[in-house]
Amino acid sequence: MRFKILTLGCKVNQYETQWLRAAFLANGWEEADDETDSVDLAIVNTCSVTAESDAKSRKTIAHCAKIYPSAELVVVGCYAASATKKVESLPRVSAVVPDKRSLADFLRKLGLTNIPSGVTGLADRQRAYVKVQDGCRVGCAYCVIPTTRPYLQSRPIDDVVEEARTLAANAYREIVLTGIHLGHYGLDFCPPTPEEQARLNAGEEAPDSGWNAKRLTLDDYLARQALTPPEQRVGLADLLRALTDLNLPKMRFRLGSLEAVEVSDAMLDVFEERPDALCPHFHLSMQSGDDSVLARMKRRWLSRPYIEKCREIRARIKDAALTTDVIVGFPGETDANFERTCDVVRELRFSKVHVFRFSARPGTVAATLPDPVPEQVKKERAQTLIKIAREEREAFAKQFVGRTARVVVEDVYRKDDGELVAKGTTDRYYEAEIPLHDCAWGIDVAPGDVLTVRLCSLNGDVFRACD
């Protein structure tokens, strides 16, 4: 039997695709190399974060149906969850799996008996993603994810630790911990409240699906956590400590996206204790630096706690790299609101800012808000912020010229002038180019290697290394 998986979207989707791939390979299936191969089963792992993502998902499904005319066509992922009926009606779609928690059952129905608990690698990637958490219950006005992934579900620490060991044995030297809402890792481990337990004891609640299988509100989860003694709680800091305690040679861990206020003192303690194992890089989603915009976005925290947390991180973790996401042109955003966001970006000196122009996502609160910002204004604001962000990224990088950094090599190639170079990522999430002729490393460097190099110069935001 031969399979093919096409993937759209985030790091979590990419991890889940690799898990599916590992399952098929472990059960004797073969993976199709290209579009000319015959395929028995084609899977499209979709994204639904924006209306454009929906369109890309539909286009990919149609493309898959065309190039694999004899294959069973299965659609999974967030678009499968947000538009299940529409996906089921698309030409040649054989099955839709809207809930990622059902993937293991789906595989068993196909006759697969060896279902992996994790992944052993990621195809064509030297930096591995490990999904440790799923689900979001926050409910930001612009986001559909709480309806496509509504169930909080954290992986047990022992499972993540074992997966890290496997990836290290397979020569991976960086693991990026990912999740839909990474900062809520462990919230679903808290036991039910006394009231919930009483209903369970009285037979009013079914115990078989587990408490985390229900669409509880975030406040429900936080109430459980508040009632759980601190010494019995499990959070992201505990996972980080367990991973760093492995002392895997040359391995480093990087956190995926977090909310700033979810960076706890306990988490920073681990970063301070293990700078050899944890990348000093925090991706802290901001979305706007203006409080009135943040309130309309239904963000849980306004700008002051965000700024204060960034300052605290920089105070405790020397030269920590902070990256973020910003949406420009949210409904009602004025010039003054936008300028406040620009001021915050300058103040915090982000090492990278992902700038997005607001696009109304059908099915979200934001899609119904008044006072839309004209497209031309959105475009101009995005260009302005990108310019500011680029300046701040380069300014932050300049302080590392002349200093050493660990680089995970991701590619080795010849430039147009014939020079052989390695390209990789520093611990602070900058790209570094390493010449391989007449250097201490020789020309035997390969993707996956970890090199400690001196950063000799900076071209834009790309370092040039030397030995």
Same domain, 367 and 344: yes
Helices (H) and strands (E) in the chain, counts: 15, 18
Distance of alpha carbon 153 from alpha carbon 158, whole angstroms: 15
Position 298 scores a pLDDT of 97
Domain containing 51 — which CATH number? Answer: 3.40.50.12160
Question: Edge-to-edge strand order for the sheet containing 72-77?
Answer: 30-31, 2-7, 41-46, 72-77, 93-97
pLDDT tens digits in sequence order for the chain, 467 residues long: 999 999 999 999 999 999 999 999 999 999 998 777 789 999 999 999 998 999 999 999 999 999 999 999 999 999 999 999 999 999 999 999 999 989 999 999 999 999 999 999 887 788 999 999 999 999 999 999 999 998 899 999 999 999 999 999 999 999 999 999 999 999 999 987 787 777 767 766 544 444 445 568 888 889 899 999 999 999 999 999 999 999 998 899 999 999 999 999 999 999 999 999 999 999 999 999 999 999 999 999 999 999 999 999 999 999 999 999 999 999 999 999 999 999 999 999 999 999 999 999 999 999 999 999 999 999 999 999 999 999 999 999 999 999 999 999 999 999 999 889 999 999 999 999 999 876 665 668 889 899 999 999 999 999 999 86
Position 262 scores a pLDDT of 95
- Is residue 121 assigned to a domain? no
Same domain, 130 and 196: yes
- Is residue 34 assigned to a domain? yes
Position 212 scores a pLDDT of 46
Same domain, 135 and 274: yes
Q: Which of 421, 416, 451 is nearest to 436 (CA)?
A: 421
- Is residue 119 assigned to a domain? no
Strands 93-97 and 72-77, sheet pairing: parallel
- Is residue 300 assigned to a domain? yes
Same domain, 68 and 158: no
Distance of alpha carbon 254 from alpha carbon 263, whole angstroms: 14
- 399, 426, 449: which is the final residue of a domain? 399
Position 444 scores a pLDDT of 81
Same domain, 188 and 237: yes
- 258, 278, 298: which is the final residue of a domain? 278
- The gap from C-alpha 233 to its chain's centroid, in whole angstroms, comes to 24
Position 216 scores a pLDDT of 80
Residue type, 296: R
Same domain, 183 and 296: no
Domain containing 412 — which CATH number? Answer: 2.40.50
Position 467 scores a pLDDT of 65
- 348-364 in b/e burial notation, b at 16+ Cβ within 10 A? bebbbbebbbbbebebb
- The gap from C-alpha 220 to its chain's centroid, in whole angstroms, comes to 25
Position 214 scores a pLDDT of 59
Same domain, 419 and 435: yes
Same domain, 255 and 152: yes
- Is residue 114 assigned to a domain? no
- Is residue 194 assigned to a domain? yes
Q: How many domains does the chain have?
A: 4
Name the helix (H) or strand (E) containing 356: strand 352-357
Domain containing 352 — which CATH number? Answer: 3.30.750.200
- Is residue 385 assigned to a domain? yes
- Is residue 120 assigned to a domain? no
Position 369 scores a pLDDT of 97
Same domain, 376 and 409: no
Same domain, 245 and 293: no
104: containing domain: 2-109
- 109, 140, 171: which is the final residue of a domain? 109
Same domain, 18 and 89: yes
Same domain, 173 and 59: no
Position 203 scores a pLDDT of 65
Domain containing 216 — which CATH number? Answer: 3.30.750.210
